[in-house]
Structure 1
Amino acid sequence: MKQSERIGAKIGYIFSHNHFYIENALESYNLKGPMFAFLLTLSHKDGCSQEGLARYLNLSKATATRAIVALEKEGYAYREKDDDDRRIYRVFISDKGREVIPLINRTLHEWNQILLSEFSEEEEAIFRKLLDKAKDTLIEFDRGSEN
Protein backbone atom coordinates (compact mmCIF):
# COMPACT_ATOMS: atom_id res chain seq x y z
CA MET A 1 0.00 0.00 0.00
CA LYS A 2 1.36 3.40 -0.94
CA GLN A 3 1.84 6.06 1.75
CA SER A 4 -0.79 8.24 0.03
CA GLU A 5 -3.32 5.42 0.38
CA ARG A 6 -3.06 5.19 4.19
CA ILE A 7 -6.52 6.05 5.42
CA GLY A 8 -5.44 6.25 9.06
CA ALA A 9 -2.93 9.01 8.24
CA LYS A 10 -5.66 11.05 6.55
CA ILE A 11 -8.05 10.54 9.43
CA GLY A 12 -5.24 11.47 11.84
CA TYR A 13 -4.56 14.67 9.89
CA ILE A 14 -8.23 15.67 10.07
CA PHE A 15 -8.41 14.72 13.76
CA SER A 16 -5.34 16.76 14.71
CA HIS A 17 -6.68 19.81 12.86
CA ASN A 18 -10.06 19.33 14.53
CA HIS A 19 -8.37 19.18 17.94
CA PHE A 20 -6.20 22.25 17.24
CA TYR A 21 -9.13 24.33 15.96
CA ILE A 22 -11.39 23.51 18.92
CA GLU A 23 -8.68 23.98 21.54
CA ASN A 24 -7.77 27.39 20.08
CA ALA A 25 -11.41 28.49 19.97
CA LEU A 26 -12.04 27.40 23.57
CA GLU A 27 -8.63 28.40 24.97
CA SER A 28 -9.91 31.40 26.93
CA TYR A 29 -12.41 29.09 28.68
CA ASN A 30 -9.66 26.66 29.74
CA LEU A 31 -11.35 23.77 27.95
CA LYS A 32 -8.60 21.44 26.84
CA GLY A 33 -8.53 17.96 25.35
CA PRO A 34 -11.79 16.06 25.71
CA MET A 35 -13.26 18.45 28.31
CA PHE A 36 -15.65 19.97 25.77
CA ALA A 37 -16.90 16.50 24.76
CA PHE A 38 -17.69 15.69 28.39
CA LEU A 39 -19.61 18.96 28.76
CA LEU A 40 -21.61 18.31 25.60
CA THR A 41 -22.43 14.82 26.80
CA LEU A 42 -23.43 16.07 30.24
CA SER A 43 -25.70 18.65 28.63
CA HIS A 44 -27.98 15.77 27.62
CA LYS A 45 -26.85 12.98 30.01
CA ASP A 46 -26.60 14.97 33.24
CA GLY A 47 -25.96 12.79 36.27
CA CYS A 48 -24.27 10.03 34.30
CA SER A 49 -21.64 7.99 36.13
CA GLN A 50 -17.97 8.68 35.41
CA GLU A 51 -17.62 5.19 34.02
CA GLY A 52 -20.71 5.65 31.85
CA LEU A 53 -19.29 8.89 30.44
CA ALA A 54 -15.98 7.19 29.64
CA ARG A 55 -17.77 4.31 27.92
CA TYR A 56 -20.11 6.65 26.00
CA LEU A 57 -17.17 8.73 24.73
CA ASN A 58 -15.02 5.63 24.15
CA LEU A 59 -12.27 6.94 26.42
CA SER A 60 -10.34 5.29 29.24
CA LYS A 61 -11.46 5.65 32.84
CA ALA A 62 -8.22 7.50 33.58
CA THR A 63 -8.85 10.02 30.79
CA ALA A 64 -12.41 10.50 32.04
CA THR A 65 -11.21 11.08 35.59
CA ARG A 66 -8.61 13.66 34.48
CA ALA A 67 -11.15 15.51 32.32
CA ILE A 68 -13.83 15.53 35.02
CA VAL A 69 -11.39 16.71 37.70
CA ALA A 70 -10.33 19.53 35.34
CA LEU A 71 -13.99 20.43 34.67
CA GLU A 72 -14.61 20.54 38.42
CA LYS A 73 -11.56 22.74 38.96
CA GLU A 74 -12.87 25.19 36.34
CA GLY A 75 -16.37 25.12 37.81
CA TYR A 76 -18.01 23.55 34.73
CA ALA A 77 -19.14 20.35 36.45
CA TYR A 78 -19.37 18.68 39.83
CA ARG A 79 -19.48 15.12 41.15
CA GLU A 80 -21.67 13.53 43.76
CA LYS A 81 -21.57 10.02 45.16
CA ASP A 82 -24.44 7.84 44.02
CA ASP A 83 -27.11 7.41 46.73
CA ASP A 84 -27.47 3.69 46.08
CA ASP A 85 -23.85 2.76 45.41
CA ARG A 86 -21.29 4.96 47.19
CA ARG A 87 -18.49 3.67 44.92
CA ILE A 88 -20.05 5.43 41.95
CA TYR A 89 -19.66 9.13 41.21
CA ARG A 90 -22.42 10.88 39.29
CA VAL A 91 -21.29 13.85 37.22
CA PHE A 92 -23.44 16.94 36.74
CA ILE A 93 -23.02 20.01 34.57
CA SER A 94 -23.00 23.31 36.47
CA ASP A 95 -24.67 26.55 35.43
CA LYS A 96 -21.26 27.79 34.28
CA GLY A 97 -20.93 24.64 32.17
CA ARG A 98 -24.36 25.17 30.60
CA GLU A 99 -23.36 28.72 29.67
CA VAL A 100 -20.52 27.51 27.42
CA ILE A 101 -22.57 24.85 25.57
CA PRO A 102 -23.75 27.32 22.86
CA LEU A 103 -20.12 28.39 22.30
CA ILE A 104 -18.99 24.77 21.98
CA ASN A 105 -21.79 24.02 19.53
CA ARG A 106 -20.96 27.14 17.51
CA THR A 107 -17.28 26.17 17.43
CA LEU A 108 -18.10 22.66 16.23
CA HIS A 109 -20.44 24.07 13.57
CA GLU A 110 -17.69 26.43 12.36
CA TRP A 111 -15.24 23.54 12.18
CA ASN A 112 -17.70 21.47 10.14
CA GLN A 113 -18.18 24.44 7.79
CA ILE A 114 -14.42 24.65 7.25
CA LEU A 115 -13.97 20.91 6.79
CA LEU A 116 -16.87 20.60 4.35
CA SER A 117 -16.44 23.93 2.54
CA GLU A 118 -15.28 22.33 -0.73
CA PHE A 119 -17.96 19.61 -0.74
CA SER A 120 -21.13 19.81 -2.77
CA GLU A 121 -24.34 18.96 -0.90
CA GLU A 122 -24.28 15.52 -2.50
CA GLU A 123 -20.63 14.94 -1.57
CA GLU A 124 -21.32 16.00 2.01
CA ALA A 125 -24.24 13.59 2.28
CA ILE A 126 -22.11 10.76 0.88
CA PHE A 127 -19.20 11.65 3.18
CA ARG A 128 -21.44 11.67 6.24
CA LYS A 129 -23.00 8.35 5.20
CA LEU A 130 -19.58 6.76 4.72
CA LEU A 131 -18.36 8.07 8.08
CA ASP A 132 -21.47 6.59 9.74
CA LYS A 133 -20.84 3.29 7.98
CA ALA A 134 -17.20 3.22 9.13
CA LYS A 135 -18.25 4.10 12.69
CA ASP A 136 -20.92 1.36 12.69
CA THR A 137 -18.34 -1.14 11.45
CA LEU A 138 -16.03 -0.24 14.33
CA ILE A 139 -18.87 -0.49 16.85
CA GLU A 140 -19.57 -4.02 15.61
CA PHE A 141 -15.86 -4.82 15.68
CA ASP A 142 -15.68 -3.64 19.31
CA ARG A 143 -18.70 -5.77 20.23
CA GLY A 144 -17.09 -8.79 18.62
CA SER A 145 -13.78 -8.27 20.40
CA GLU A 146 -15.55 -8.01 23.79
CA ASN A 147 -16.78 -11.59 23.42
Structure 2
Amino acid sequence: MISFRDNIVFLIAKAHQQAQGFLKGQLKTFGLTPVQCLLVESLWEEEGLSVGEIGRRLVLDTATLAGVLDRMVNAGWVRREVDSEDARVARVFLTEKAREATAELATTIGSTNNELLNKFSLEEKVLFKRFLRDIHNYD
Protein backbone atom coordinates (compact mmCIF):
# COMPACT_ATOMS: atom_id res chain seq x y z
CA MET A 1 0.00 0.00 0.00
CA ILE A 2 1.28 3.45 -0.90
CA SER A 3 1.63 6.03 1.86
CA PHE A 4 -0.24 9.29 1.38
CA ARG A 5 3.18 10.96 1.71
CA ASP A 6 4.19 9.25 -1.55
CA ASN A 7 0.85 9.69 -3.32
CA ILE A 8 1.51 11.92 -6.33
CA VAL A 9 -1.97 13.44 -6.26
CA PHE A 10 -1.48 14.46 -2.62
CA LEU A 11 2.00 15.85 -3.33
CA ILE A 12 0.82 17.88 -6.32
CA ALA A 13 -2.19 19.18 -4.38
CA LYS A 14 -0.06 20.29 -1.43
CA ALA A 15 2.54 21.89 -3.71
CA HIS A 16 -0.29 23.71 -5.51
CA GLN A 17 -1.72 24.97 -2.21
CA GLN A 18 1.65 26.28 -1.09
CA ALA A 19 2.47 27.90 -4.43
CA GLN A 20 -0.98 29.50 -4.78
CA GLY A 21 -0.88 30.80 -1.23
CA PHE A 22 2.54 32.31 -1.71
CA LEU A 23 1.61 33.90 -5.05
CA LYS A 24 -1.66 35.21 -3.58
CA GLY A 25 0.29 37.01 -0.89
CA GLN A 26 2.68 38.52 -3.43
CA LEU A 27 -0.19 39.76 -5.62
CA LYS A 28 -2.14 41.47 -2.81
CA THR A 29 -0.40 44.79 -3.44
CA PHE A 30 -1.72 44.71 -7.02
CA GLY A 31 -5.25 43.66 -6.04
CA LEU A 32 -5.02 40.67 -8.37
CA THR A 33 -5.75 37.00 -7.83
CA PRO A 34 -3.46 34.31 -9.31
CA VAL A 35 -5.98 33.63 -12.10
CA GLN A 36 -6.27 37.33 -12.91
CA CYS A 37 -2.49 37.55 -13.00
CA LEU A 38 -2.38 34.67 -15.50
CA LEU A 39 -4.86 36.52 -17.67
CA VAL A 40 -2.63 39.62 -17.64
CA GLU A 41 0.36 37.43 -18.50
CA SER A 42 -1.50 35.89 -21.44
CA LEU A 43 -2.17 39.40 -22.76
CA TRP A 44 1.50 40.31 -22.38
CA GLU A 45 2.18 37.56 -24.90
CA GLU A 46 -0.57 38.66 -27.26
CA GLU A 47 -3.07 41.46 -26.81
CA GLY A 48 -6.47 41.43 -28.41
CA LEU A 49 -7.09 37.75 -27.78
CA SER A 50 -10.68 36.62 -27.96
CA VAL A 51 -12.31 35.53 -24.72
CA GLY A 52 -12.48 32.00 -26.12
CA GLU A 53 -8.76 31.95 -26.93
CA ILE A 54 -7.87 33.17 -23.45
CA GLY A 55 -10.02 30.38 -22.02
CA ARG A 56 -8.22 27.78 -24.16
CA ARG A 57 -4.78 29.08 -23.25
CA LEU A 58 -5.51 29.26 -19.52
CA VAL A 59 -7.69 26.13 -19.53
CA LEU A 60 -10.65 27.98 -18.01
CA ASP A 61 -14.30 27.38 -18.78
CA THR A 62 -16.36 30.23 -20.18
CA ALA A 63 -18.40 30.82 -17.01
CA THR A 64 -15.29 31.13 -14.81
CA LEU A 65 -13.53 33.35 -17.31
CA ALA A 66 -16.55 35.63 -17.69
CA GLY A 67 -16.57 36.37 -13.96
CA VAL A 68 -12.81 36.92 -13.87
CA LEU A 69 -13.01 39.29 -16.84
CA ASP A 70 -15.93 41.24 -15.37
CA ARG A 71 -13.99 41.85 -12.15
CA MET A 72 -10.86 42.84 -14.09
CA VAL A 73 -12.79 45.26 -16.30
CA ASN A 74 -14.40 46.81 -13.21
CA ALA A 75 -10.99 47.11 -11.52
CA GLY A 76 -9.52 48.79 -14.60
CA TRP A 77 -6.99 46.10 -15.60
CA VAL A 78 -8.47 45.13 -18.98
CA ARG A 79 -11.03 46.30 -21.46
CA ARG A 80 -13.25 44.31 -23.81
CA GLU A 81 -13.95 45.38 -27.35
CA VAL A 82 -16.25 43.89 -29.93
CA ASP A 83 -14.30 42.41 -32.84
CA SER A 84 -14.62 44.69 -35.89
CA GLU A 85 -15.12 41.72 -38.23
CA ASP A 86 -17.37 39.56 -36.02
CA ALA A 87 -19.66 41.22 -33.49
CA ARG A 88 -20.11 37.89 -31.67
CA VAL A 89 -16.45 37.95 -30.62
CA ALA A 90 -15.11 40.01 -27.73
CA ARG A 91 -11.42 40.84 -27.70
CA VAL A 92 -9.51 41.71 -24.53
CA PHE A 93 -6.83 44.38 -24.15
CA LEU A 94 -4.70 45.64 -21.30
CA THR A 95 -5.49 49.08 -19.95
CA GLU A 96 -2.99 51.80 -19.15
CA LYS A 97 -3.18 50.73 -15.50
CA ALA A 98 -2.03 47.24 -16.47
CA ARG A 99 0.73 48.54 -18.73
CA GLU A 100 2.04 50.80 -15.98
CA ALA A 101 2.19 47.84 -13.59
CA THR A 102 3.91 45.50 -16.07
CA ALA A 103 7.50 45.87 -14.87
CA GLU A 104 6.66 45.57 -11.18
CA LEU A 105 4.22 42.70 -11.75
CA ALA A 106 6.73 40.84 -13.94
CA THR A 107 9.37 41.26 -11.22
CA THR A 108 6.94 39.92 -8.61
CA ILE A 109 6.08 36.90 -10.76
CA GLY A 110 9.75 36.21 -11.44
CA SER A 111 10.75 36.46 -7.80
CA THR A 112 7.81 34.26 -6.78
CA ASN A 113 8.90 31.59 -9.27
CA ASN A 114 12.50 31.87 -8.08
CA GLU A 115 11.47 31.60 -4.43
CA LEU A 116 9.34 28.52 -5.07
CA LEU A 117 12.11 26.81 -7.04
CA ASN A 118 15.14 28.03 -5.08
CA LYS A 119 15.94 24.55 -3.71
CA PHE A 120 16.31 23.11 -7.22
CA SER A 121 19.32 23.10 -9.50
CA LEU A 122 18.88 24.50 -13.02
CA GLU A 123 18.53 20.98 -14.40
CA GLU A 124 15.92 20.09 -11.77
CA LYS A 125 13.94 23.24 -12.56
CA VAL A 126 13.86 22.38 -16.26
CA LEU A 127 12.85 18.78 -15.54
CA PHE A 128 10.24 19.80 -12.98
CA LYS A 129 8.54 22.15 -15.43
CA ARG A 130 8.67 19.49 -18.14
CA PHE A 131 7.15 16.89 -15.82
CA LEU A 132 4.32 19.24 -14.86
CA ARG A 133 3.64 20.05 -18.52
CA ASP A 134 3.67 16.34 -19.35
CA ILE A 135 1.14 15.56 -16.60
CA HIS A 136 -1.08 18.35 -17.90
CA ASN A 137 -0.39 17.56 -21.59
CA TYR A 138 0.31 21.24 -22.14
CA ASP A 139 2.97 22.50 -24.55
Q: Secondary structure at the match of 1:83?
A: coil
User: What is the CA RMSD across the aligned residues, in angstroms?
Assistant: 1.9
Instruction: Give the 3-state SS of the residue equivalent to 2:46 in structure 1.
Output: coil
Q: For the Cα contact (< 8 Å) 1:43–1:98, is it kept in 2?
A: no
Contact 2:26–2:112 (CA under 8 A) maintained in structure 1? no
The aligned counterpart of 1:94 is: 95
Determine what percentage of the aligned residue pairs are the same residue: 25
Matches of 2:34 and 2:112 in 1, distance apart? 16
120-129 vs 42-51, which deviates more? Answer: 120-129
Structure 1 residues 122, 51: CA separation in 2 closer, same or farther (over 3 Å shift)? closer
CA deviation map 1:71-117 (0-9, x unaligned)? 11111110011112211111111111112222222222222222222
Q: Structure 2 unaligned runs (5+)?
A: none
Take 1:92 and 1:64, find their aligned partners in 2: how far apart are those partners?
A: 15
Contact residue 40 and residue 101 of structure 1 kept, 8 A? no
For residues 28 and 119 of structure 1, the distance between their equivalents in structure 2, rounded to whole angstroms, comes to: 28
* Equivalent residues in 2 for 1:7-46, closer than 5 Å: 7-46=8-47
SS of 2:20's equivalent in the other structure is helix
Structure 1 stretches lacking a partner, 5+ long:
141-147
Tell me which residue corresponds to 1:49.
50
TM-score (normalised: structure 2): 0.87
Q: Given that residues 77 and 93 in structure 1 are in contact (C-alpha distance below 8 angstroms), is that contact kept between their aligned partners in structure 2? A: yes
Question: Which whole-Å deviations, capped at 9, do the CAs of 1:21-55 have from their partners, x for residues lacking one?
Answer: 22211213211241110011111211111111011
Determine the C-alpha separation between the residues in 2 that align with 1:61 and 1:21.
27
Number of matched pairs: 138
C-alpha spacing 1:14/1:47, structure 2 compared with 1 (3 Å): same
Structure 2 distance, partners of 1:113, 1:130, is 18
